Structure 1
Amino acid sequence: MFDVGAGELLVILIVAVVVIGPKDLPLAMRTAGRWIGKMRRISAHFRSGIDAMVREAELEEMEKKWKAQNEEIMRRSAALTEAEAGAPVMTGPPPLDKSLVDTPPPPLPETAATPPQPEAPAAPDASTKGTSADV
Structure 2
Amino acid sequence: MLPSLGFQEIILLGVLALIVVGPKDLPLLLRKLGRWTAKLRGMAQEFRTGFDELARQAELDELKKEVDALRRTSSLNSVVQEVQRPLGTLESYAGISPPPPPAPPEAVEGVEANEPVADAPSGAAATPEPAPIEDMPTPADAKPVVRSVS
Matched residue, 2:44: 43
Aligned to 1:77: 77
For residues 79 and 16 of structure 2, the distance between their equivalents in structure 1, rounded to whole angstroms, comes to 81
TM-score where L is the length of structure 1: 0.53
Report how far residue 73 of structure 1 moved: 2.1
Residue of structure 1 in register with 2:66 after alignment: 65
Equivalent positions of 1:99-110 (< 5 A) are none
Q: How does 1:105-124 map to 2 (within 5 A)?
A: none
Match in the other structure for 2:93: none
Question: Which residue number corresponds to residue 25 of structure 1?
Answer: 26
Q: Percent identity?
A: 36
Residue 12 of structure 1: how far off its partner (Å): 1.1
The Cα shift of 1:11 comes to: 1.4
Aligned residues: 80
Q: Hey, what's the Cα distance between the residues in 2 that align with 1:56 and 1:67?
A: 16
Residues 31 and 61 of structure 1: is their aligned pair in 2 closer, same or farther, counting only changes over 3 Å? same
Q: Which has the higher contact order (CA 8 A, sep 6+)?
A: 2
Shift of 1:72: 2.0
| Larger relative helix fraction | 1
Runs of 5+ consecutive residues of structure 1 not aligned to the other structure = 82-135
SS state at 1:23 partner: coil
